[in-house]
Chain A
Amino acid sequence: MSVASVFALCAAAAVGLGLYGLLVSPQPLRKILAFNLLGSGVFVLFGVVARRGAAAGFASDPIPQALVITGIVVAFSATALAVALLLRLLQVSGSATLAAHSSARANRDLAGT
């Protein structure tokens, strides 16, 4: 098995774990962490692509690395924004949850008052 295949499998595992975390964990902070894990998996995938030297037959391709750096900056800003929103939510409401507000329930409440 080549080095690229090993890293590709690692990337797939990280993406899978991140996706699982985003799906099942109810706490927003864990969702944010899961998103970061998912993102790391994608960045490793870009690394694999660079290693295989997809473009123009170079031994290793520099463009995916440029893309990954941009991707990391984007993921970092996304995490910062999400954590800032989460902290503010915790300050304002005392609890941090993403539980859906049911419109049917809200309508029933309005009708009841």
Chain B
Amino acid sequence: MPDPAPALDAVTAGAFLLVLAIVIPVAGVLAAFAAGGRWVERIALSTLPFGLAIAVAIAIALWRTDAPIVYLLGGWAPPLGVALRADGLSALMMAITAVVICGVGVFARADFRIPAGATEARAPFAFWILLLAIWAALNMVFVAGDLFTLYVALELLTFAAVPLVSLDGRAETLQAALRYLIFALLGSAFYLVGSALLYGAYGTLDIVLLSHQLRAQPATLVAAALMTVGLLAKTALFPLHLWLPPAHAGAPAACSAVLSALVVKGSFFIVVRLWFGVMPGLPGGAAAQLLAALGAAAIVLGSIVALRQERLKLLVAYSTLAQIGYLFLMFPLAFDPATARLASGGALAGGILQAISHATAKAAMFMSAGLIYAALGHDRISEVAGVARALPLSVLAFALGGVALIGPPASGAYLAKNLLLQAAGDSGQWWWAVVIQAGGMFTAGYWLLVLVHTLARGDASAALRARVSRLQEAAALALALCSLSLGLFPWDAYLAIPAGAAASNPLTLKALSSVLWPIMGGAVLATLLGRSGLPSARVRVEDFLVAVIGPVRRGALVLSGTIERVDDALRQWPVAAISLLVIAILLGAAMQAAQSLD
């Protein structure tokens, strides 16, 4: 017998902040659209501080009250009305969204300047409006209290993100945008079918009400599988990533930063809401293991293909693919076999922290990759020698962003990794601990590959085609530093962090080895699998080693070439669409099996 319906929540103090968080960016969109091209940048930039202030205010309000903030639209309580709710997760995601959007706004000013003489231009007009629209949609995703509002928010997010891909209007970017749109629509249709089934079974889509009423019956399991897989398609989890690499290949740097840092996190957040909020007792261990297995495959494939990329931008894009996989490792770690439920404990905190630190670090990496492209006129990794001397701050931002992903002490990724490893140790799932450590090595691998090429001797300063704005470099650097210091933030107010995970002396041997091991492993991986190898390895030592390394490296290159061809095959439309169906069936079967075991 399910629990009786809970006492319906009433409007709490500070509820108007949730409304403002959605209304202010939307007001910015409308005002910018009405005022026209000359005003659009000024309106967007003046919206940024207000949005940031609201996100901070929500975070402070939650810190004080410790209970979710609730707003009821029109004063109608669910199930008839619609509620907006903000808990710790929402507040954190809104805050990090505001930080990244502000960073991107500062960065994009120089890239989207209206040419002299013209009164308005198409690309800046579209960019600023879409940036605010993405912000509004994301805030709506984070505070939505029912599954249909989440659907609308998700669609708004997609519609705002797709045109960013094709902002420069070339044929291949239009094609990438169309692929993204149609695949995302397929995903959202799956989500919508799931919500129709849930409404038919329970008569409400409110998250809190559903979580009290949900029973394991066929319609619920089908709905859960369909909604999850639809969201995975939008998150670009392996093997549903066909839209992600081409979308990043031609998008401007600021757009790539928003897409990779924030847009994929929107649908990821809905997966978290669905699994932890709506149906923690439903999926069971097998389905959680399946999600994490896809994540592990994403880490391996994304990292190896990243090591084989010729272009810096695509390397960072494939790194995003791998890091998305990292986010899904938390699901089996949060599963508590004693109660057969997903527990909102340390593993969930680790996953969310990983998402937050990836958002800031990856935005910084895309920005600095964009600066290198703008300065050199290309971003071929084999030809960036000397760029560290010509553009020291850009390369520094890239390096710090990469370090933040690897996770030195005091960074958000370090804390996230510790929480996930602790959860893996507590639940005895050592295989996910291995994947987490290997993921760090792969990250260090492609980071080192780029860094060594930029630091190599060369005369890039002679080849500089354009000057790089200091403000843009500062924006990238600030986001990278933000990610590096996220571990110092008091997370306990928002996330359930087990005692002892956060407090560790950053100078102990264990803490240092958490950086050294991945970097050493990464150096080996980059030497073996990197397309062009590490140039600094061309010292005399190599003469001795070449006889040993040569055959191994040839074997590794054959392997990585095969994996690259597998990736090409998976990104064909029919293969990706069939994978979507297969994963839906597997998820449904895993959930059904978990229920029949009980």
What is the interface of chain A, defined by CB distance below 8 A to chain B? 15, 18-19, 22-24, 26, 28, 31-32, 35, 38-39, 42, 45-46, 48-49, 52, 54-56, 61, 63-64, 67, 70-71, 74, 77-78, 81-82, 85-86, 88-89, 92-93, 97-98, 100-107, 110-111
B199 close to chain A: CB less than 8 A: yes
Complex partner residue of A81 from B181, B202, B531, CB under 8 angstroms: B181
* Number of B interface residues in the complex (CB < 8 A): 58
B49 at the interface (CB under 8 A from A): no
| CB of B111 within 8 Å of the partner chain | no
Are B175 and A89 interface neighbours, CB within 8 A?
A: yes
Given contacts A24-B574, A74-B155, contact A54 B181 (CB under 8 A): no
Q: Could you say which residues of chain B place their CB within 8 Å of the CB of A81?
A: 159, 162-163, 181
Q: What chain A residues lie within 8 Å of B169 (beta carbons)?
A: 88, 92
For B197, the chain A residues whose CB sits under 8 A away are 45
* Distance from B373 Cβ to chain A, minimum over Cβ atoms (Å): 15
Cα distance, A93 to B173, chains bound together (Å): 11
* Nearest-CB residue, chain B, relative to A57: B203
| Contact residues, B146-184 vs A (CB, 8 A) | 148, 151-152, 155, 159, 162-163, 166, 169-172, 174-175, 177-179, 181-182
Which stretch from B257-265, B282-290, B562-570 is at the chain A interface? B562-570
Which partner residue on chain A sits nearest B318 by CB separation?
A103
Is there an interface contact between B172 and A100, defined as CB atoms closer than 8 Å? no
User: Are A38 and B189 touching (Cβ within 8 A)?
Assistant: yes
- Residues of B close to A107: CB separation below 8 A: 308-310, 531, 564
For A63, list chain B residues within 8 Å (CB). 80, 199
Assuming the contacts A39-B189, A78-B155, asked whether A100 and B181 have C-beta atoms less than 8 A apart, the reply is no
Question: Can you list 20 A-B pairs, Cβ within 8 angstroms, ordered by A?
Answer: A22-B182, A26-B573, A38-B186, A39-B189, A39-B192, A46-B199, A54-B200, A56-B203, A71-B192, A78-B159, A81-B163, A82-B178, A85-B162, A88-B174, A92-B169, A92-B171, A98-B573, A100-B246, A104-B568, A107-B309
| Residues of B contacting A: mostly | helix
A93 to chain B: closest residue by CB: B171
B193 near A45: Cβ-Cβ < 8 Å: yes
Smallest Cβ-Cβ distance to A55: which chain B residue: B203
Q: Which residues of A contact B200 (CB under 8 A)?
A: 45, 48-49, 52, 54
Contact B186 A86 (CB under 8 A): no
Nearest Cβ on chain A to B244's Cβ, whole angstroms: 12
Tell me whether B444 is interfacial, beta carbon within 8 Å: no
Instruction: List the 10 closest pairs (A to B, CB-CB), nearest first.
Output: A55-B203, A93-B171, A49-B200, A89-B174, A54-B203, A92-B171, A45-B196, A23-B577, A85-B178, A74-B155
Task: Choose among B148, B163, B380 the residue that contacts A110 (Cβ–Cβ < 8 A).
Answer: B380
- Judge if B280 is at the interface, Cβ distance under 8 Å: no
Are A92 and B174 in contact (CB-based, < 8 A)? yes
A70 touches B148 (CB 8 A): yes
Q: What's the Cα separation between A46 and B195 when bound, in Å?
A: 9
Q: CB-CB < 8 A to A31: which residues of B?
A: 182
Question: Nearest chain-B residue to A38 (Cβ)?
Answer: B189
Inter-subunit contact B196/A49 (CB<8 Å): yes
CB closest chain-A residue, reference B199: A49
Rounded to whole angstroms, the CA-CA distance of A19 and B181 in the bound complex is: 16
A97 to B172, CA, bound (A): 10
Say if the beta carbon of B204 comes within 8 Å of chain A. yes
Knowing A45-B193, A55-B204, the reply to whether A103 touches B199 (Cβ < 8 A) is no
B572 at the interface (CB under 8 A from A): yes
Look across to chain B and name the residue whose beta carbon is closest to the beta carbon of A52: B200
User: Residue B185 contacts which of A45, A71, A78 (CB distance < 8 angstroms)?
Assistant: A78
